[in-house]
């Protein structure tokens, strides 16, 4: 009886690309790092010249606690700050607002006024450090606080370096910390970009983010495609305001996730650079080489971390760090082992930083530019991702652009479908998560966890009342009234927000004035 040959099991990447046992060389055009289309990196020497900026995302409790963590991480060798804000700050509510109850200082630091920002950066000279702020709906207010702190330290706004995330479109897709409807939100972003181009020239006023869409369940292809579609919408917004592309494009930046499918993640970063360069050159006719370079920050994947056997997360983060570096990131945050359970302790954050330092200084992968170039498998993945990205971009363009596609629920639906697929694979055991559905243990020691003092909320309530009673309230009302008047017209809002901040108007007061003019966004159900 003839033996029936067993059909080999199909092996797929995270994004469902079939993987062959071997790959062979394909004839390719020679591409050099530092040259268009920047597939191999935006700088000729990459990390041979200078390592990426090592940022650890920090912020919890009140401004004093966050200041202490900033100083601790800088002392341990961190080379840039990255600031996390609590939910009330993110959605424009003061600590004593009913909507803030139970959330003050929990997932980030509470910044309710200029006084909080002054405390957070006490003893940290803003002209000598680069700061990234993960803030979106209230980004203009937080940037105004930062500029005012710089002024108080003797630094002009032209000396400040850093980034505000300020990517509202992905909030409607994946993260949901929006306040206003899309149109006025896009106006605020356009105002910030225009203002920074003239007054804060070393600042990146927007970091267009695929991270949260990837964490919500998107494929690598969807992460790149939807992020670049949003970028096209922001660029068009600036052009419609009369800006020239080369006036603002050099200060656009991006933010991507790095998760566990090692080679696919490296391919994703290479492809994103290549596609973006083509869009800026061919669609928007950018001439400045810096306009067509995709500069990005990477964060390792929080969603990939497990509450079970949390020390395993150190290994996961190390693998993701290698992928981000081999992909050519400009800046990196490494998640901590305990983040599936709580905000990281100082010890866990130090281990995460040491992971970057070991990769940077000991692994040897920074000695040559783009060390994975020429991998037949990597080039295959680049081709697959690029084909998928262009297909999505054409589909989104036919819908009328990213904003229309988001309003129709297209991005959300595509991400949900893939998230459902991934969840089914984990539940069935087809996708192995070590310590979760395989190699499990009955009893697991838990690490010491960071616990937020419940008294922070009460302290911040008292502090905000003292601010209101100790300031010149007539001056505050005048500044807020002028800001509201400008919002009702078509004036750039940044100078008015700055005046309000300097008068000690609070985060909630500024946001509430805009609520009166712009209204609040209420999403429709998308099935």
Q: What is the band of 527 on the pLDDT scale with cuts at 50, 70, 90?
A: very low
Residue ranges of the domains in the chain? 46-397
pLDDT for 222 equals 98
Q: What is the C-alpha R_g of the chain?
A: 23
pLDDT for 412 equals 95
- Cα separation, 201 vs 161, in Å, equals 8
SS3 sequence of 273-306: HHHHHHHHHHHCCCCCHHHHCCCEEEEECCCCCC
Long-range contacts for 190-193 (Cβ within 8 Å, ≥24 apart)?
190/237, 190/238, 190/241, 191/140, 191/492, 191/493, 191/494, 192/139, 192/140, 192/143, 192/164, 192/166, 192/494, 193/234, 193/238, 193/243, 193/248, 193/251
pLDDT for 6 equals 57
**Other beta carbons within 10 Å of 478:** 14
Q: What is the band of 8 on the pLDDT scale with cuts at 50, 70, 90?
A: low
pLDDT for 27 equals 62
Residue 337 has pLDDT above 90, yes or no: yes
pLDDT for 227 equals 98
pTM assigned to the model: 0.93
Angle between helices 139-152 and 182-199 (to 10 degrees): 30
DSSP 153: T
pLDDT for 523 equals 81
Q: What is the chain's length?
A: 527
pLDDT for 19 equals 87
> What tens digit of pLDDT does each residue of 32-43 get?
999 999 999 999
Which residue's structure tokens are 């999505």? 392
pLDDT for 5 equals 55
DSSP 238: H
Q: What is the band of 525 on the pLDDT scale with cuts at 50, 70, 90?
A: low
> What tens digit of pLDDT does each residue of 154-171 get?
999 999 999 999 999 999
SS3 sequence of 62-107: CHHHHHHHHHHHHHCCCCEEEEEECHHHHCCCCCCCHHHCCCCCCC
> What tens digit of pLDDT does each residue of 210-229 get?
999 999 999 999 999 999 99
Query: What does the block give as tokens for 432?
Result: 């192995």
> What tens digit of pLDDT does each residue of 367-377 get?
999 999 989 99
What average pLDDT does range 284-289 have in this prediction?
97
Burial of 159 (0-12, 13-18, 19+ CB in 10 A): middle
134, 166 Cβ separation under 8 angstroms: no
| CATH number corresponding to 46-397 | 3.20.20.240
Q: What is the band of 448 on the pLDDT scale with cuts at 50, 70, 90?
A: confident
pLDDT for 31 equals 86
| Averaged pLDDT score across all residues of the chain | 94
Which residue's structure tokens are 């600590």? 95
């Amino acid at each position: 009886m003839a033996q029936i040959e067993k059909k080999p099991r199909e092996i797929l990447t995270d994004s469902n690309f079939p993987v062959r046992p071997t790959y062979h060389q394909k004839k390719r055009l020679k591409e050099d790092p530092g040259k268009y289309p920047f597939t191999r990196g935006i700088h000729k020497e990459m990390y041979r010249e200078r390592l990426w900026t090592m940022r650890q995302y920090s912020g919890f409790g009140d401004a004093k606690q966050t200041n202490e963590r900033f100083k601790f991480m800088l002392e341990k060798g961190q080379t840039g700050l990255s600031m996390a804000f609590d939910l009330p700050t993110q959605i424009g509510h003061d600590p004593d607002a009913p909507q803030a109850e139970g959330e003050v200082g929990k997932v980030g630091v509470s910044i309710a006024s200029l006084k909080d920002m002054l405390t957070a950066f006490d003893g940290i000279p803003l002209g000598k450090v680069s700061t990234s702020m993960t803030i979106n709906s209230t980004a203009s207010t937080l940037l105004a606080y930062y500029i005012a702190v710089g002024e108080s330290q003797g630094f002009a706004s032209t000396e400040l370096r850093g980034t505000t995330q300020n990517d509202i479109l992905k909030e409607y897709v994946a993260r949901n910390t929006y306040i206003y409807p899309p149109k006025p939100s896009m106006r605020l972003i356009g105002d910030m970009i225009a203002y920074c181009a003239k007054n804060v020239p070393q600042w990146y006023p927007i970091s267009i983010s695929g991270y949260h869409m990837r964490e919500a369940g998107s494929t690598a292809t969807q992460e790149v495609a939807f992020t670049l579609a949003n970028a096209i919408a922001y660029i068009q917004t600036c052009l419609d305001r009369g800006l020239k592309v080369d006036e603002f494009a050099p200060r656009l930046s991006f933010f991507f996730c790095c998760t566990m499918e090692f080679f696919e993640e490296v391919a994703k970063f290479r492809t994103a650079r290549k596609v973006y360069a083509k869009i800026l050159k061919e669609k928007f006719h950018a001439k400045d080489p810096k306009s067509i370079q995709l500069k990005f920050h990477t964060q390792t994947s929080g969603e990939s971390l497990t509450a079970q056997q949390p020390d395993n997360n150190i290994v996961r983060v190390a693998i993701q760090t290698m992928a981000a570096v081999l992909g050519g990131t400009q800046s990196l945050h490494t998640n901590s082992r305990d983040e599936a359970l709580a905000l990281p302790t100082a010890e866990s954050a130090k281990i995460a930083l040491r992971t970057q330092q070991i990769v940077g200084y000991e692994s040897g992968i920074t000695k040559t530019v783009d060390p994975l170039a020429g991998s037949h498998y990597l080039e295959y993945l680049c081709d697959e991702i690029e084909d998928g990205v262009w297909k999505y971009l054409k589909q989104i363009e036919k819908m009328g652009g990213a904003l229309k596609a988001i309003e129709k629920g297209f991005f959300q639906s595509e991400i949900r479908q893939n998230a459902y697929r991934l969840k089914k694979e984990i539940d069935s055991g087809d996708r192995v998560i070590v310590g979760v559905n395989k190699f499990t243990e009955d009893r697991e020691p838990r690490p010491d966890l960071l616990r937020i003092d419940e008294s922070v909320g009460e302290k911040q309530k008292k502090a905000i009342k003292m601010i209101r009673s100790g300031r010149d309230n007539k001056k505050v009302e005048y500044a807020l009234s002028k800001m509201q008047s400008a919002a009702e017209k078509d004036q750039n809002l940044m100078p008015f927000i700055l005046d309000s901040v300097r008068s000690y108007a609070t985060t909630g007061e500024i946001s509430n004035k805009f609520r009166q003019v712009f209204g609040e966004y209420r999403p429709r159900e998308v099935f």
